[in-house]
């Protein structure tokens, strides 16, 4: 990414706790896990995990915003 601005993704603690509880619950349907993850944090562009950072950069005159987790950010 050229000239990307990378910022930490701020998720309120109560929402993060809710997300972790739903993802850890084996009884929770995959569809519910997917919906809750998208509503609270979105997903990492590369691997689909819960993101921790937002990268913003310009491409062809448009600002592109991508979310990524710590592992994929280090790549």
- Check if the beta carbon of residue 53 is closer than 8 Å to that of residue 73: yes
- What pLDDT score was predicted for residue 11? 87
pTM listed for this prediction: 0.69
- Which pLDDT tens digit goes with each residue over 15-37? 888 888 888 999 989 988 888 88
Close Cβ partners of 18 (under 8 Å, ≥ 6 residues apart): 36, 40
How far is it, in rounded angstroms, from Cα 32 to Cα 53?
23
Q: What are the pLDDT digits (tens) for 30-62?
A: 988 888 888 888 889 999 888 989 999 988 889
Distance separating alpha carbons of residues 55 and 57, to the nearest angstrom: 7
Q: How many folded domains does the chain comprise?
A: 1
Range of the domain at 40: 5-73
When pLDDT is averaged across residues 55-74 and rounded to a whole number, the result is 89
């Amino acid at each position: 990414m050229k000239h990307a601005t990378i910022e930490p993704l701020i998720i309120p603690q109560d929402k993060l706790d809710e997300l972790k509880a739903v993802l850890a619950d084996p009884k929770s349907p995959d569809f519910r896990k997917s919906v809750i993850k998208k509503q609270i944090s979105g997903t990492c562009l590369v691997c689909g995990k819960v993101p921790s950072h937002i990268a913003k950069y310009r491409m062809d005159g448009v600002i592109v915003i991508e979310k990524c987790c710590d592992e994929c950010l280090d790549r």
